Structure 1
Amino acid sequence: MDQVFKALADGTRRRLLDRLHERAGQTLGELCEHIDMTRQSVTQHLAVLEAANLVATARRGREKLHYLNPVPLHEIQERWIDKFERPRLRVLTDVKRRAEEAMTDKPTFVYVTYIASTPEKVWDALTDADLTAAYWGHSNVSDWQAGSRWEHVRTDGSGIADVVGTVVESERPTRLVTTWASPDEEGQEDRHSRVTFDIRQHADIVRLTVTHEDLPTERDLADVSLGWPAVLSNLKSLLETGRTLPQEPWLVPSG
């Protein structure tokens, strides 16, 4: 365990682990592309990670491929994190996030709705491509694993995605966090917003809280303030009655 903590104490080694989390099976050359140091130095850092069992390697011909081994991290979680109450840790994280949020001028939209359903069904309604197509007019497509890409794809057969992003957190059936961006802004992280779905059992019903934060402008806030209530009303109708609303609510004139 001491070797693991020693390996994680260095920022470069943490960056190497992040890169392997993003894409497994990278060569030394690929890992060096975004690390501003010599190949010899990167090799030394990888040796420390291998010694700590945080990185595993395999040969493919003459190439040596590197893979993240999450087992030691899982052991740290079990020994040092799981013994504490996760809800309390999450509250502290949310307090920190909201405090940081209050220090920025980026607007945030929060919407709460109550649905006569189960957390599992609400989760599936947010992540299943066919269900989202039924009430949203787009299919949400991903494997919904943390770190994976997701797309909000049109249902007209064009395959065009109007929104893309990354799955930040995925804890079925209670919490899903994703980043949002238009396809042409996918590489511009300062233009990305963030959506959190908190799904909680509330007596015999479900309380769904949607928080859309880091919105670039007040115009974006105005747009999502109209969009989210419409989409979530259609979701609620589908789960409670088996039918979507007779007309897409986002097409109804607001005035």
Structure 2
Amino acid sequence: MDAIFKALGDPARRAILDSLKARDGQTLSDLEEQFEMTRFGVMKHLNVLEDASLIVTTKKGRFKFHYLNALPLQEAIDRWIDPLLAKPAARAVIDLKSKLETAQMLDTSNHPDFVHQTIIQCTAAALWDALINGEATPHYYFDTVLEGDANPGETLIYRAPDGSEMLSCDVIAADPPNRLEMTFAPHFIPNAAPSRHVYLIDEMPGACRLTIEHYNLPPEMAGIRNGWVLIASRLKTWLETGTALPVTPEMMGR
């Protein structure tokens, strides 16, 4: 937590986060063009932000892309602010329904539209089970019950409490307990653009690092990232404490 507040204490670093909030997945050169500082200066600020887990990076070829990671800030809010204040509607999940094109889904040359990352005190096996177990999902995934098997070629269905299909995900690749890649097709609105998401699990001493990547998300649907922040934050809380964070109308934008 000290690293987070230290990183946020510098106005230049806050400006970098604002830039990534406006357009995620920028390279060092993209960011360098926006600020009156040397390339080394931008790199130094990026290193501080990365050490605080406020940004995460992915590499594609010779390019390194930087992403705003909102989860550490959300965890601070859940710890201190949420008991006193309702979450703003701006953090609601944006409705999304995807039609899938296999070639586009399997194209790994593109980089994610956004990346979220958090540390959870559990084993990789426990985290993997929570992601694919229908008895676990109601505790963190908006009260949905997951049906199906997480095997390539299978389809996972997330059902709302009334039994309706809220989300369907075709499993593209599964490497338990480290990687799960799926399509993302919510049944909320028609004619939405295709998208897909990836869970990455890295086991550490006494904990796991969970990374969530989302691809092929059109700009008008960018708000879906706020839904992932809420899901990941609730997943962390449930796995670490056994208690689920309640979903309030304010969280859902009602």
Task: Tell me the TM-score range normalised by the shorter chain.
Answer: 0.5 to 0.7
Larger Rg: 1
Q: Where do 5+ consecutive residues of structure 2 fail to align? A: 1-58, 62-105
Q: Higher RCO, 1 or 2 (CA under 8 Å, sep at least 6)?
A: 2
Which residue pairs with 1:235 in the alignment?
Answer: 235
Identity fraction in percent? 27
Count of residues in Structure 1 that have an aligned counterpart in Structure 2 = 150
Q: 1:174 aligns with which of 178, 186, 208?
A: 178
- The two structures have a TM-score, normalised by structure 2, of 0.53
Listed one character per residue, the Cα deviations across residues 172-208 of structure 1 (whole Å, up to 9, x for unaligned) are 111100001134889x8x9321110000112321000
Which residue pairs with 2:155 in the alignment?
Answer: 149
Instruction: Give the Cα separation in 2 of the matches to 1:124 and 1:130.
Output: 10
**1:99 Cα deviation from its structure 2 partner:** 7.4
SS at 2:110's partner residue?
A: helix
Aligned pairs for 1:73-92 (under 5 A) are none
- Normalized per residue, the structure richer in helix is 1
Structure 2 CA distance for partners of 1:249 and 1:208, relative to 1, 3 Å: farther
What is the Cα-based RMSD across aligned positions, in Å?
A: 2.8
Structure 2 CA distance for partners of 1:184 and 1:226, relative to 1, 3 Å: closer
Q: 2:203 aligns with which of 201, 215, 219?
A: 201
**1:155 Cα deviation from its structure 2 partner:** 2.1
Aligned pairs for 1:156-167 (under 5 A) are 156=162, 159-167=163-171
Instruction: Give the Cα separation in 2 of the matches to 1:250 and 1:202.
Output: 35
**1:250 Cα deviation from its structure 2 partner:** 7.7
2:60 partner amino acid: V
Aligned pairs for 1:53-72 (under 5 A) are none
**1:98 Cα deviation from its structure 2 partner:** 8.9
Instruction: Give the Cα separation in 1 of the matches to 2:108 and 2:129.
Output: 31
Instruction: Give the Cα separation in 2 of the matches to 1:98 and 1:138.
Output: 29
SS at 1:200's partner residue?
A: strand
Which residue pairs with 2:219 in the alignment?
Answer: 218
Give the conservation status (yes or no) of the 8 Å contact 1:237–1:243: yes
SS at 1:151's partner residue?
A: strand
Aligned pairs for 1:47-126 (under 5 A) are 95=60, 100-101=109-110, 108-126=113-131
Listed one character per residue, the Cα deviations across residues 71-110 of structure 1 (whole Å, up to 9, x for unaligned) are xxxxxxxxxxxxxxxxxxxxxxx736897315xxxx7121
- The two structures have a TM-score, normalised by structure 1, of 0.53
Listed one character per residue, the Cα deviations across residues 141-198 of structure 1 (whole Å, up to 9, x for unaligned) are 2111101111121123xx2112112100111111100001134889x8x932111000
Which residue pairs with 2:140 in the alignment?
Answer: 135
Q: Where do 5+ consecutive residues of structure 1 fail to align? A: 1-93
2:154 partner amino acid: S
